[in-house]
Chains A and B, each alone.
Chain A
Amino acid sequence: MDQQALIQNLVIPAAQIVAVVLVLPLLIAYLQLVERKVLGFMQVRLAPRRVGWHGLLQPIADAVKLLIKEDTVPEKSDRFLFTLAPVVTVIPALAALAVIPFAAEPFRVFGYEVNPFITDINVALLYVLAISSLGIYGVILGGWASNSKYSLLGALRSSAQMISYEVPLGFAVIGVMMLAGSASMVDIVNAQKASGVWYVLPQILGFFCYFIAAVAETNRVPFDLPEAEAELVAGFHTEYSGMKFALFFLAEYTNMIVVSSIVTILFFGGWLRPFPNVAALAFLENGWLLFVPLVAGGFLGWLADQKLGGGLRLMFAGGIAGAALGVLIARSDVMGLAGLQVPAVSGVFWFSLKVSFFLFMYIWFRGTYPRYRYDQLMALGWKWLIPMSILNVVGTGLVILITG
């Protein structure tokens, strides 16, 4: 029994952490490929095709290139801080993932219960806000230590930007916490299940405030001022190359995933299927039926590909393969009890689908919008987002007070 507890409490979480740290870079590498493919599709060009079938090995090639590239350090830079900065940026980004639940029901592996999240703490939301603020240090340190004026300007911009947008970010989630009565991610989703409605409906204002602030927080288009290519060359990471640059890159994309996950959990019901209160749609949680929309999607994608000649077939093929794998796991009685995996797998499926949508939104923004100017960005944050998010808190409070 002692050994049982040891495995359950120590070995499995450790394995989960290792899995996240190992799988995430690969996932991000392919997220980047998807970004390039989608942007290519939007911009009437082909995107990577040379390395592997439809550019499928491009991320691997990029990673290898970054690994073996010369790692230059500018001459008069502060070597220690210069090396420390990317590490300081990437650790909080990864640490935030610890509290993100991908589903509710545990998987069963060799008789042990494996939760689809590393930990569920009761202040998860506060933890995420706190830990993601730490990432700013990396940016400031990197910009300062580079001993480059462009980097310094970029770092100052991003510190101002990230600090300004922390505020609406924090206020925007308060509404959700008030409705759910908890700051635990799992509890928030369960509260949405109990109330039978995704919180995006009662918290529509909160959702917009959160998502806009979060895009700004992750320094993505149209808020990518810290790395504004046209003005500051590359902002705080102008002087970085090789693996150090890759770490900044990793942090940015991890933050994108974290933000998309949190939006999904807070406002879009996390792992819940659409319309969680409509019993007639319960089949959406059935493992086998997950296969149907994906096959249909794959077929449509194949048709679209025939017509447009783009690289979309790849993504749908990936979708089909993923669905097949999911169904296999869900139905397998190899590693555990037959059928018991279904809730966990369908949870992960719906969660991934929603997160993918928000990641797509990021890419879509990038393909559409010009960049804000520094003062306009500040005006948007302080004059619009903060008042709106406070209004949202007050409004939510009043409604809760009146309806009891």
Chain B
Amino acid sequence: MFRTEEMDINMGPQHPSTHGVLRLKLTLEGEEVVDIRPVIGYLHRGVEKLSEHRTYPMIEPLTDRLDYVAAISENLGYCGAVEKLMGLSIPPRAQYLRVVLAELQRIASHLLWLGTHALDLGAMTVFFYTFRERELILDLFEAFCGARLTYNSMRIGGLYEDVPQGWTDRVRHFIDIFPAREKEYEDLLTVNRIWLGRTRGVGVLKPEDGVALGVSGPTLRASGVDYDVRRAQPYSSYDQFEFDVPVGQNGDTYDRYIVRMEEMRQSCRIIRQALDRLPEGEVRAKVPKYIKPPAGEVYHVVESPRGEQGFYIVHKGGEMPYRMRFRAPSFVNLQALPIMCRGRLIADIVAVIGSIDIVLGDVDR
């Protein structure tokens, strides 16, 4: 007489907590998730194809739009790939400033993640606190390059120009006040029983699954795999800085939270070292007016806030790439969503999506 029925429900692409235009086809048994199938492509702009018809300097603004939350990391990776192809060596001052920018960007990106993640789980106030600090970082970026979201901040061969006067002092001021601000978020969340209940043991990613799926970044490190591109294949003189790579144990949402919180502290540490030892000199290598790299292939990876961001260029002469391929960390990490969510409750999906920190611009490209 009574029977139960599985319910299919569409979560997204217009949904407050799918962080953009992610669509999830859910099969629910009451509140329990039986199956989950992510559907992507709503933000596909064909950046890889567009790149084939642009000269190398013209591609950099496109990379801003991949992972628009961490555009500087994309710029850094792209410029690094082209420089590798051309065999350029970058002046040390430019390398250090790039590190400062990239780490500020990492903090800004993690702040956005923390705010939205907490908001998804109902903790509203953290969102406003993190945006207060993110605003300070955006002000720094604005002072440096005039933009607040899509920076186009670097040039092939270094930076467009040196940082403005007094900029480094402002950065120093920010990293001085930031640890106290971070403690404010932790006071609200880290030992909050409800927060622990919502995140501990939720969305566990086993290290072997993570490696098999190619997951990278904090999402993988929370599972206990000690892999950080900044340390494994240092770029932009990351080998000259001392920093820890935080690693989790259980691979659950809480560990991913803890790992990212610690990463922000480590970023501060790197920025401080970079500012203390900031070399003088040029910020741009001698680069020809028309960039025509020698024919060849190159693959360059950087550690973006989301994970391993790769750029693969096939060049067959001329001013444009023959083929351009972006390895998007969000795209790869998103694959882990179904195995993390299956059999959990619908509220956990939101927690897990938040904790793998996807950016749909990066997923769809």
Contact = CB atoms under 8 A, between A and B. Distances in A.
Chains A and B are bound partners: yes
A231 B346 CA distance: 7
Interface stretch (A61-69, A172-180, A367-375): A367-375
The interface residues of chain A, by DSSP majority, are classed as helix
A373 B17 contact: no
A224 interface: yes
A375 B124 CA distance: 21
Residue of A150, A228, A230, A369 with most partner-chain B CB within 10 A? A230
A376 interface: yes
Contact of B347 (A149, A221, A368, A373): A373
Interface stretch (A38-46, A52-60, A112-120, A329-337): A38-46
B213 interface: no
Contacts of A39: 124
Interface in A249-272: none
B129 interface: yes
Interface in B92-150: 118-125, 128-129, 132
A367 B124 CA distance: 6
A17 interface: no
B115 to A, nearest CB: 11
A373 B198 contact: yes
Nearest to B348: A373
B9 A224 contact: no
A366 interface: yes
B350 A367 contact: no
B299 interface: no
B350 A231 contact: yes
A153 interface: yes
B181 to A, nearest CB: 11
Contacts of B288: none
Residue of B123, B188, B189, B192 with most partner-chain A CB within 10 A? B123
18 contacts: A39-B124, A43-B124, A44-B129, A150-B9, A153-B9, A153-B31, A230-B16, A369-B123, A370-B194, A370-B198, A371-B122, A371-B194, A371-B198, A372-B194, A372-B197, A374-B31, A375-B31, A376-B198
Given A233-B15, A366-B124, A370-B122, A153 B346 contact: yes
Interface of B: 7, 9, 15-17, 28, 31, 118-125, 128-129, 132, 188-189, 192, 194-195, 197-198, 345-350
Contact of A228 (B9, B122, B188, B189): B122
Interface string A361-391: 0000011111111111000000000000000
Contact of B122 (A45, A150, A224, A375): A224
Contacts of B189: 370
B31 A221 contact: no
Residue of B122, B194, B346 with most partner-chain A CB within 10 A? B122
B186 to A, nearest CB: 14
Contacts of B132: 44
Nearest to A221: B122
Interface of A: 39, 42-45, 149-150, 153, 157, 221-222, 224-225, 228-231, 233, 366-376
A229 B16 contact: yes
Nearest to B132: A44
Contacts of B346: 153, 231, 374
Contacts of B192: 369-370
Given A229-B16, A230-B350, A368-B188, A376 B125 contact: no
Contact of A45 (B28, B120, B128): B128
Contacts of B198: 370-373, 376
B121 to A, nearest CB: 4
Contacts of B129: 43-44
A369 B126 CA distance: 10
Contact of A43 (B16, B121, B128): B128
A42 B125 contact: yes
A357 B9 CA distance: 41
Nearest to B116: A230
Given A149-B9, A370-B118, A43 B194 contact: no
A225 B16 CA distance: 15
Contact of A370 (B15, B31, B123, B128): B123
Contact of B125 (A228, A231, A368): A368
Contacts of A222: 122, 194
A163 to B, nearest CB: 16
A150 B11 CA distance: 9
Contacts of A233: 15-16
Q: Which 5 A-B residue pairings sit nearest by Cβ, starting from the closest?
A: A371-B122, A43-B128, A370-B123, A230-B17, A230-B120
A228 B9 CA distance: 16
Contacts of B123: 368-371
Contacts of A375: 31, 345
